Structure 1
């Protein structure tokens, strides 16, 4: 038994099984080793590929600028057993067994890190030319579509829809984006913030149609509910994602309103010796006073360190991050940190028509979230202000010529 493992109260003979070979699952396994766990450790993934990073899928891989995004991790040296191409079917907590398509896998500790899956467009499944973009295989199927410079209809003007439209325009495709709401990113950001983003589509040569609901998809066309018929050599669906937890139905593990695994502040689930991390799990945030479900890469990177520490006996580890994500779209680098739902004040730093600007959300003179477009220094300093909880001077905050860190009072 290693000194660190013994100190943390985790017997090296206990077997840890991690379900999900995406970023959250891989980083959980790595964190366990880094924090001293020396026992048997198994990582199970449904895809047959070596574990890979997802952000390049909508960028370099999609455009043929890279052949893959396999994570540079030596699993063999770390003593991590990889079971790939093996879909999980259920959990039997009383028996401490995970059911997979290749048979049951016993565990002493189980970590659920199955991520999220794309929401499908009703009635479009099985129609030729309809695509999703979530996996490496999805990106590989879309690469030749972009290379042929087809006419493409993107359903959904959220983050993934905008990123794909950006790549498709860069490849020379004709792109029309249809959005049921009145603006892009309607579920993520308020109207006054998304207003300047609407022009980005036209500036890039992409057509954006809002208040547009898809009635049906036919081979070669998308038909809207107003009767409009949009020619489409290919259709890419980007209408959101939901936790990949359908396989847990009836297992006795508590799921939330959005199908997510309900975890506590230490990322423990309602079942003994079962933890959850990443896109598939929500957690209570003391910082924001509500339960958060975060579908972003940074959550899949930060959460594993916390869940590994909890597994290894660090009882005082609480997971309460400042959520962060970024998006590259239409030649702009967009970054967001925090959670603005409870904010009582919105401030602009810079003009929305400018190339670079930032929006700050405050609650009782404390910064709780910000969105930075082309201002990475604002993001870095603002994120630290959110983490510190310091009071700020709104006047200084709104002055784009002054560093955010000078706003502390």
Structure 2
């Protein structure tokens, strides 16, 4: 490798890359660096004591006791990656290229911020053992006996994680009530006309969905709503969103956005030299959608690290501009989404939303910008490729669910 020097004077092939956060984004950054030929030192710091693990199974197999964990199948030793677990980073002094931890400072030449997001909690319930969130392996372990005991469960929030937990709780035989402050499930994620049909899924699964319902208080054995309704609750699970885990960056000079996320550029670099950010903790400008995106989904944490590795190693900056993708398994349905629908000017339905399989396509100036598929994985796969190409489509042909989505190409 060349002996070109980085901004702090260290030879490129001798640099020490430190990655803070041992979730998907952090692990994949370490893997991508080695796959792309980086020969310098790589250290991965994780705040949790557990071997790095994947999060999606937590709300499914791990929660239901069908698996003990979901550790990544990565041989860190063979990769030459130093893995330090149970080492929480409390601050960073970017001018000194040093991280602060309880066990002492850690120096770096290049820093990758991959600390993900942390769940939003109900005010005043932080120490209540009956109130749970589901983000970590320890969270899932605490919730296992709740499901095994078939307790009455109140889920606060009808977003993606709330629906997935309600699904698992019903499968375990719990009586489940989901309370949602908005008038429909997935109110923050999907337009009203798209999310409204999904409300029926709860009743079909034997769960009760209460919309326009706000929590006033959590009491022993009950949740009290603002209208005075008391709901029996052996346990309460809160799924009202997540915020970037960036509190440790206070005073670092690393610029944060309105949601306290790291503001990365198109190359996933931050406002400070030699510092990158990836995954749930950061946003990036999308040339495809002409706006800054904050994507809290697994695929973003998988794809972004490849761009970061390329930019750490290479001479020519690589641009990160993906088609966002995520999926959710809820109430016996496989829901997939690709793209970004907010700038669309046309909505096209494919199939009956009362049925088992249907999809929705969003167009802007005749080109596909987003697709939601329920039980139609082929629509999602074809739609994702069409979004990438930006090709013009015929809306009338697109609306025929019997035709492949790609047949709508003009």
Give TM-score, length-normalised by structure 2.
0.98
Structure 1 counterpart of 2:41? 40
Structure 1 counterpart of 2:98? 97
Listed as ranges, the gaps of 5+ residues in structure 1 are none
1:219, CA displacement in angstroms? 1.4
Contact 1:57–1:135 (CA under 8 A) maintained in structure 2: yes
Which deviations, in whole Å up to 9, do the C-alpha atoms of 1:45-90 show, x marking residues without a partner?
Answer: 0000000000000000000111110000000000000111011111
Determine whether 1:234 maps to 2:235.
yes
| Partner Cα distance (1:402, 1:101) in 2 | 59
Structure 1 counterpart of 2:393? 392
| Partner Cα distance (1:361, 1:270) in 2 | 34
Residue correspondence of structure 1 range 9-408 to structure 2 within 5 A: 11-408=12-409
1:12, CA displacement in angstroms? 2.1
| Partner Cα distance (1:307, 1:84) in 2 | 22
| CA RMSD of superposed structures (Å) | 1.2
1:205, CA displacement in angstroms? 0.2
Q: Secondary structure at the match of 1:370?
A: strand
Contact 2:49–2:85 (CA under 8 A) maintained in structure 1: yes
1:7, CA displacement in angstroms? 9.3
1:6, CA displacement in angstroms? 6.4
Give TM-score, length-normalised by structure 1.
0.98
1:128, CA displacement in angstroms? 2.9
| Partner Cα distance (1:269, 1:107) in 2 | 15
Contact 2:4–2:12 (CA under 8 A) maintained in structure 1: no
Are the structure 2 counterparts of residues 314 and 222 from structure 1 closer, same or farther at C-alpha, using a change threshold of 3 Å? farther
Listed as ranges, the gaps of 5+ residues in structure 2 are none
Are the structure 2 counterparts of residues 325 and 19 from structure 1 closer, same or farther at C-alpha, using a change threshold of 3 Å? same
Q: Secondary structure at the match of 1:57?
A: helix
1:125, CA displacement in angstroms? 1.5
| Partner Cα distance (1:374, 1:66) in 2 | 25
Contact 1:128–1:219 (CA under 8 A) maintained in structure 2: no
1:406, CA displacement in angstroms? 1.0
Contact 1:326–1:335 (CA under 8 A) maintained in structure 2: yes
1:354, CA displacement in angstroms? 1.1
Q: Secondary structure at the match of 1:49?
A: coil
Q: How many residues were matched structurally? A: 406
Which deviations, in whole Å up to 9, do the C-alpha atoms of 1:2-26 show, x marking residues without a partner?
Answer: x4x7699862211000000000000
| Partner Cα distance (2:85, 2:359) in 1 | 42
Q: Secondary structure at the match of 2:12?
A: coil
- Which stretch has the larger CA shift, 215-224 or 323-332? 215-224
